[in-house]
Amino acid sequence: MTLRQLSISGGKPIRLKQILRDAGIPLSELATHLGISRTAVSLLVNHGVMPASAAEKALEPRIEQFLANQISSNDDTWKAEEVEPACSNTPAPDSPTQDPVDEPNDEETATMLLRKHRLTQATRQHFELAANPFGDVEDIADVFLSPDIRYAREALFDAAMHNQFVAVIGESGAGKSTLREELIDRLQREKRDVHVIEPAVLAMAETDSKGKPLRAQHIAEAIMGTVAPLAPMRSSPQARFEQLKKTLIESHRAGMRHLILIEEAHAMPTSTLNHLKRFLEIKDGLRKVLGIALLGQPELAIKLSESNPQVREVVQRVEIVTLPPLDANLDAYLKHRFERAGLPVARVLEGSAIDALRERLAPSRQRGMSLLYPQAVHNVLARAMNMAAELGMPRVNADVIRGV
């Protein structure tokens, strides 16, 4: 029996896939025998993508030997009976005991998305990339400014310059930290007289049992530590508040602006959210002396919901800005990132790969939401590009995206 009779060559992997499934042989065993990665074997078995680094003629006898060793010669799965070719989207049996070659399910994909992947040196050399398209933002020109990102950027700047209260909400990897970093860079670049006050959030949690809740006292200490670092804090709560108020007003009259900027704000206790109103009420006559900007995950939107009576006074004062996924802007985003890396996106990704990426990160059945956020996009593409380079493929196609 040859591989061509088993129909794995020529982009038709169905027969080998069925043999491995019926025999309960995991892909990892075949990958170990062939000396190539599990993902390369997955692409070979599921999509018929032959590794360019391993010639087809060299792989065929080694796979035949592996199957001969693993499967008895009288096993029905090894016989040469005719099998009606199945299409690539044929569903697996209803109750397989072990299905080593199926595509990852939603849960596996979601888990993978949380894992960081970096482009290898070999990958950058393979695609002739002068820079990493998924690297950190180091310049305003690196920031992709979709209409939504542009609005969030200006809302944060407005909070700093005109003492507004804004909450920027987005999923993990949506770009909140980038907006924070760019805001600080912009204020410095434009030589704006703004004290940016960032309370420590390293171990912040809602309750003492989970970590260290951020209290109003900690925010007050952060304000004094930024605006008047040499002034000792008063002992009593009333004296501390009067000291804080006096310090902010004097700084405001000297021409300074103040912005309380809190990351991971979804982990703030409700009581602290309520206390933010007290900071906003500190004024010099009619003029407010500070603004507040919160950055957090969607749980923050729940806390600041109009239906939450515990924070009604805060809800009436805060503007909520949501960072949506890249759904409609995926092509433009990838074009921007690859151009910043010195290479047109079409030199690296086939159009089918972008479509497959959109399908993979589209609303999932489990979460009912899009995962098309920058960090998730970077992780999938970095892994796919590494695999394409390993396989010697000139560009990433849809099969590689689906196979990683």
Q: Are 323 and 292 within 8 A, CB to CB?
A: no
Q: Are 273 and 214 within 8 A, CB to CB?
A: no
Q: Are 209 and 202 within 8 A, CB to CB?
A: no
pLDDT at 100: 46
pLDDT at 55: 52
Q: How much is the average pLDDT of 38-62?
A: 66
Q: Is the whole model's pTM more than 0.85, yes or no? A: no
Name the residue with tokens 């010697």: 392
pLDDT band at 335 (very low <50, low <70, confident <90, very high): very high
Of 6, 26, 13, 14, residue with least CA distance to 99: 26
Q: How far is CA 87 from CA 34, 38, 94, 401, in A?
A: 26, 23, 17, 19
Whether 79 has a pLDDT exceeding 50, the answer reads: no
146 DSSP 8-state letter: -
Whether 110 has a pLDDT exceeding 70, the answer reads: no
What is the distance between the alpha carbons of residues 373 and 174, in angstroms, rounded to a whole number?
5
287 DSSP 8-state letter: E
- Fold classification of 147-322 is Rossmann fold (3.40.50)
- Mean pLDDT over each residue of the chain, to the nearest integer: 82
139 DSSP 8-state letter: S
Whether 158 has a pLDDT exceeding 80, the answer reads: yes
pLDDT at 75: 52
For CA atoms 167, 172, 174, 179, give the dihedral sign: positive
What is the distance between the alpha carbons of residues 77 and 13, in angstroms, rounded to a whole number?
15
pLDDT at 83: 40
Whether 81 has a pLDDT exceeding 50, the answer reads: no
Token reading at 296: 């957090």
Whether 161 has a pLDDT exceeding 80, the answer reads: yes
Question: How close are the terminal C-alpha atoms of the chain, in Å?
Answer: 30
Q: How much is the average pLDDT of 316-321?
A: 95
Token reading at 210: 């989970």
Helices (DSSP H) in 346-392: which residue ranges? 351-360, 374-391
Lowest mean pLDDT among 107-116, 278-287, 355-364: 107-116
* Location of each CATH 3.40.50.300 domain in the chain: 147-322
What is the distance between the alpha carbons of residues 170 and 358, in angstroms, rounded to a whole number?
19
User: How many residues does this entry show for the chain?
Assistant: 404
pLDDT at 17: 75
Q: pLDDT, tens digit, for every residue of 184-223?
A: 999 999 999 999 999 988 767 777 767 788 999 999 999 9
DSSP assignments along 23-55, one per residue: HT--HHHHHHHHTS-HHHHHHHHHH----TTS-
Burial 245-283 (b: 16+ CB within 10 A, else e): bebbbebbeeebbbbbbbbbbbbbbeebbebbbebbebe
